[in-house]
């Protein structure tokens, strides 16, 4: 019989949830509200270039580790991180962790804890718009050309 979440797991969840609450920048696992009423979660941060980019996903698996989340699943194109603004809101999101933090087969436990929420705010109006078709759920798109490279992503205008 697989063990369920117990007091020791709840203590780990509380510690890791507090670390999520202390973050000051958008991170993997956070919710993203788009102006077209689409909500996704941050699934990857491209931090090896400046400014960094953020990719989102409709669903997937989020591992809740110490001071971070990691993601497994499909990704949408990247969006520059400077376009995201924290809302101050927190929402219950699913994640998983190892029972008693012991990594072994069949020892994962699904949990729910509060994750920060961000909004994608106004993009640079100098960026040309182009349609990405149906796969973007009606979202605006942009092409950002920077330092000799192109990056595709979705850009929406927040309502605030």
Judged by phi (left if over 0) then psi (alpha if -120 to 50, else beta), residue 53 lies in: beta
Q: Please report the pLDDT score of residue 7 as a whole number.
A: 95
**Contact 40/136 with Cβ under 8 angstroms?**
no
In a domain? residue 123: yes
In a domain? residue 128: yes
Looking at residues 22-29, what average pLDDT do you find? 90
Nearest by Cα to 30 from 81, 73, 78, 93: 93
Number of domains present in the structure of the chain: 1
| The overall pTM is greater than 0.85 | no
Percent of the chain residues topping a pLDDT of 70:
73
Q: Please report the pLDDT score of residue 2 as a whole number.
A: 67
| Spatial separation of the C-alpha atoms in residues 1 and 47, rounded to whole Å | 41
In a domain? residue 1: no
In a domain? residue 2: no
In a domain? residue 24: yes
Looking at residues 50-79, what average pLDDT do you find? 92
Which of 41-55, 60-74, 130-144 is least confident?
130-144
The whole domain housing 77 covers: 7-154
């Amino acid at each position: 019989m697989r063990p369920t979440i117990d007091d020791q797991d709840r203590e780990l969840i509380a510690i890791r949830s507090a670390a999520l609450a202390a973050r000051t920048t958008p991170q993997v696992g956070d919710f993203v509200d788009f102006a077209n009423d689409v909500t996704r979660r941050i699934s990857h941060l491209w931090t090896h270039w400046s400014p960094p980019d953020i990719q989102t996903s409709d669903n997937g698996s989020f591992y809740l580790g110490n001071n971070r989340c990691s993601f497994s699943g499909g990704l949408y194109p990247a969006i520059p991180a400077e376009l995201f603004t924290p809302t101050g809101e927190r929402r219950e999101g699913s994640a998983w962790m190892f029972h008693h933090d012991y990594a072994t087969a069949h020892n994962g436990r699904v949990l729910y804890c509060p994750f920060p929420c961000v909004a994608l705010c106004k993009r640079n109006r100098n960026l040309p718009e182009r349609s990405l078709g149906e796969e973007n759920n009606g979202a605006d798109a942009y092409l950002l050309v920077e330092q000799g490279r192109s990056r595709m992503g979705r850009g929406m205008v927040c309502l605030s």
